[in-house]
Structure 1
Amino acid sequence: MAHAVYIHIPFCTNKCHYCDFNSYIAQGQPVMDYLKALDLEMKKTLEIIPIKKVKTIFVGGGTPTVLSLQEMEYFLKSVKNHFQSWDQEIEFTMEANPGTVEIEKLQIMKDYGVNRLSMGVQAFQDGLLSYIGRIHNVRDVYQSVDNAHKVGFTNINIDLMIGLPNQTLSMVKESLDKAFELDLPHFSVYSLKVEENTLFHRLFERNQLPLPPEDDELNMYLMTIEQMEIHGYRQYEISNFAKKGFKSKHNITYWKNEDYYGFGAGAHGYLNGKRHMNLKGVVPYIEKIEKEQQLPRIEEHEVSIEEKKEDMLMLGLRLLEGVKIADYERIFGESIETKFGSQISELVDKGLLIKDEIGIRLTKKGLIYGNEVFAEFIS
């Protein structure tokens, strides 16, 4: 039974140079028509697969806070209408970009139960922010955090990025220092991935993207881990660090391979043993629901037992606590060694995994070479 809900708002003020998410510049888009279609998708889905109690809601994008005050209120009222039974300690996260979170909008969000913000800050150098296509500057970051505090938000995450073009180790250190000064309970730090269909990929193909050397990027990550520990943030996942009691409950749902609803254009969901992906385009999404009166699925498949086993290790090993042997045996009725014994032994020998009587987990070296570890568990 799913207790987690993901909702996708695919609209942005602009497209960042590294972004391959399903997002569209909001100007000229049928935003309210989309929100009405989203309302109908939630209604139709819950008629088929009802939910008893919601523990986490995560609104991602795009930039959800690009919605106008009227659109935001319509959207959140819709969410509240469809998901009425909330866990007493619900985590309701909305992604936000600095510069799009004025006090009036934050107040509407808080009034409708949003209690966690995740802000895409990325860096604390105006020149670097401009180069990667962000519309905000460092001043906007401080203003947005201040606005959030004034409205009463205390559970705030900010995203930072490493391995950006022209970024140096000292620039990452400066960004971390300025982030720590904000005294927030959670940070996510991601390495740049040059994805296809982005401006950065086109520059990379032409050898015009000045990425830092691999050794520098590695040192950026290691320094991040060290600085987080010094400042009292516990690393609980490859890219995530939190003060006690502030881990992202919603993201842990993904890493533990648990069921979740996925609503909106391009959204993924995992319900009753089936994974699905929705249509990506805004207008096709709207038409599928409004005109054809059908769920906007582009793909749906039953997850086999073998795939579930692989998913449990690939996702679970992202967490520093790793995968517990007892959990694996309880779910699948067999020893973890039966399916993955040789892979685990090889990765232990390489110094990438630790195995004990409790479970398996990444070593410090394994954190750095996580993708190599995960690939070993794909058949």
Structure 2
Amino acid sequence: MSKKGWGIYAHIPYCVKKCAYCDFVSSAVGTSASVEMEDYAAALRAEILREALPLRARWGDVTTVYLGGGTPTALPAALLTQILATIREAAGEPLECTVEANPGTVDEEYLAQLRVAGANRLSLGVQSFDDRLLCAIGRIHTAEEARAAVRAARAAGFDNISLDLMYALPTQTLADLRRSVNEALALAPEHISVYGLIVEEGTPFAAAEAAGRLALPDEDAAEEMYDYLMAELPAHGYRRYEISNFARAGYESRHNLGYWQNVPYLGVGAAAHGYIDGVRWGNETDARRYIRAIHAGENVRTPEDAERTATNAMEEYAFLALRTAEGIDEADFCRTFGVNIDDVYSSVIEQQIGHKLLCRAQGHIALTAAGMKLGNEVFAAFLQEK
């Protein structure tokens, strides 16, 4: 077994409808989608069998599995459960198996099939409980459908549910956000993720902003929303364990923690990314080309860091670990790179502690509350090859 275990990320590049803010690799389901989705599921299962079996032989059963997208639940339940079955066949029984879902694509029957197939954690992309805002950002579900999805998940046997919420949405006010948070808390999920809207290049929101038609909250209003979330969620028992993630004790996302703690993971599917033996790669992004390549037995990976140096690896380790509340484990840094962190970053650490953005205690170096808010500035300070 890899000392930290290992994970699998499987990408499902389909959605019922693309959201106005989304720049992830996915496409809206069209008239020919059912045939393509069947072909895609077959190719994905073939890649899983090809790539996961050797890793299981090296490291034992997979530790975590995450099906993301896109919208995995845009697939018919039969296809998604086949993918889950293939993962179990090739990689064993994970401790945690998460499936992302859009509330508008699931019911109790669908979720019950996922639960029987081995999924034990559900991540629901709610984003807001305000129907006006949901419509404005292009979501296909309503607030009531989000509530119904949580009820259905409980009835199907899920006892580990995460809800995604967004803030700083167009025309959103603090009062709007408060209502959504109260609705989320009333559903008592085990985990809540919160994301501030980022207008990404190439999205409908980017076009609207360029045309002066996107009424975003100003910086002060967005910061007020952020501060509210950072205070409100811990007050209700959700510990902030990563910059954007809050959980009840014991319900932190094992899979996502793996990303930030340098745990190896296999990425499968079109546009999936992986990290094995210190090498990061991205898969072919076009679903049809991916299907053809897998069926032809061809390589679908492109290395992302062919010129990666030891310095790059240390930089990456530092800013990923700093996303978590625990921060950098100094002993693990030394084990990983063979040097003490002060031999590399002493001046940066002292500077950021002086700015009250980092703190140091019990063998860990972590962001302060102010550092969490200004995380990108701190991460940039750890880049040696600027």
Residue in structure 2 matched with residue 210 of structure 1 by the alignment: 215
Deviation of the 1:24 alpha carbon: 0.7
Query: C-alpha distance in 1, partners of 2:329/2:81?
Result: 42
Q: Does 1:358 align with 2:363?
A: yes
Residue in structure 2 matched with residue 37 of structure 1 by the alignment: 43
Residue in structure 2 matched with residue 16 of structure 1 by the alignment: 19
Deviation of the 1:300 alpha carbon: 4.8
Deviation larger for 240-249 or 295-304: 295-304
Query: C-alpha distance in 1, partners of 2:53/2:129?
Result: 46
Residue in structure 1 matched with residue 68 of structure 2 by the alignment: 60
CA RMSD after TM alignment: 1.4
Q: What amino acid does structure 1 have at the position aligned with 2:255?
A: H
Q: Is the 8 A contact 1:72 1:108 kept in 2?
A: no
Deviation of the 1:77 alpha carbon: 2.3
Deviation of the 1:91 alpha carbon: 0.5
Residue in structure 2 matched with residue 71 of structure 1 by the alignment: 79
Selected match of 2:52 from 40, 46, 52: 46
Deviation of the 1:203 alpha carbon: 1.1
Deviation of the 1:308 alpha carbon: 1.7
Query: C-alpha distance in 2, partners of 1:69/1:5?
Result: 20
Query: C-alpha distance in 2, partners of 1:109/1:290?
Result: 26
Query: C-alpha distance in 1, partners of 2:277/2:253?
Result: 23
Query: C-alpha distance in 2, partners of 1:317/1:301?
Result: 21
Count of aligned pairs between the two proteins: 375
Q: What amino acid does structure 1 have at the position aligned with 2:49?
A: K
Deviation of the 1:193 alpha carbon: 0.8
Q: Does 1:7 align with 2:10?
A: yes
Q: What amino acid does structure 2 have at the position aligned with 1:78?
A: T
Instruction: Provide Cα deviations, 1:131-154, integer angstroms capped at 9, x if missing partner.
Output: 000010001011111111111111
Instruction: Provide Cα deviations, 1:209-265, integer angstroms capped at 9, x if missing partner.
Output: 111011111111111011112111111111111111100000000011211110010
Q: Is the 8 A contact 1:45 1:295 kept in 2?
A: no
Q: Compute the TM-score of the two structures, normalised by the length of structure 1.
A: 0.96
Q: Is the 8 A contact 2:53 2:90 kept in 1?
A: no
Helix, strand or coil at the partner of 1:160: strand
Deviation larger for 278-287 or 205-214: 205-214
Query: C-alpha distance in 2, partners of 1:138/1:186?
Result: 18
Instruction: Provide Cα deviations, 1:77-132, integer angstroms capped at 9, x if missing partner.
Output: 22222223x25xx1100000102111221111111110000000001100000000
CA separation of 1:8 and 1:98: change in aligned 2, threshold 3 A? same
Q: Compute the TM-score of the two structures, normalised by the length of structure 2.
A: 0.94
Gaps of 5+ in 2: none
Residue in structure 2 matched with residue 250 of structure 1 by the alignment: 255
Q: Is the 8 A contact 1:80 1:112 kept in 2?
A: no
Q: What amino acid does structure 2 have at the position aligned with 1:335?
A: N
Deviation of the 1:47 alpha carbon: 5.2
Residue in structure 1 matched with residue 234 of structure 2 by the alignment: 229
Selected match of 2:144 from 111, 131, 139: 139
Query: C-alpha distance in 2, partners of 1:130/1:377?
Result: 40
CA separation of 1:46 and 1:75: change in aligned 2, threshold 3 A? closer
Q: Kindly report structure 1 stretches of 4+ aligned residues shifted beyond 6 Å.
A: none
Instruction: Provide Cα deviations, 1:274-333, integer angstroms capped at 9, x if missing partner.
Output: 111001111011111113x11311335454322221111110001011112122112222
Residue in structure 2 matched with residue 377 of structure 1 by the alignment: 382
Matches within 5 A, 1:1-379: 1=2, 3-27=6-30, 28-29=32-33, 30-46=36-52, 49-50=55-56, 51-84=59-92, 86-87=93-94, 90-291=95-296, 293-301=297-305, 303-356=308-361, 358-378=363-383, 379=385
Query: C-alpha distance in 1, partners of 2:78/2:366?
Result: 47
Deviation of the 1:341 alpha carbon: 1.6
Q: Is the 8 A contact 1:288 1:296 kept in 2?
A: yes
Helix, strand or coil at the partner of 1:152: coil
Sequence identity percentage: 40
Deviation of the 1:155 alpha carbon: 0.2
Deviation of the 1:370 alpha carbon: 0.7
Helix, strand or coil at the partner of 1:99: helix
Query: C-alpha distance in 1, partners of 2:302/2:335?
Result: 33
Helix, strand or coil at the partner of 2:104: coil
Query: C-alpha distance in 2, partners of 1:343/1:204?
Result: 37
Query: C-alpha distance in 2, partners of 1:325/1:81?
Result: 37
Query: C-alpha distance in 1, partners of 2:189/2:362?
Result: 36
Q: What amino acid does structure 2 have at the position aligned with 1:34?
A: Y
Query: C-alpha distance in 2, partners of 1:285/1:57?
Result: 21
Instruction: Provide Cα deviations, 1:5-58, integer angstroms capped at 9, x if missing partner.
Output: 110011100000000001111222300101111111112223554451111100
Deviation of the 1:357 alpha carbon: 5.0
Q: Is the 8 A contact 1:218 1:368 kept in 2?
A: no
Q: What amino acid does structure 2 have at the position aligned with 1:3?
A: W
Q: Is the 8 A contact 2:327 2:364 kept in 1?
A: yes
Q: What amino acid does structure 2 have at the position aligned with 1:221?
A: Y
Q: Is the 8 A contact 1:11 1:62 kept in 2?
A: yes
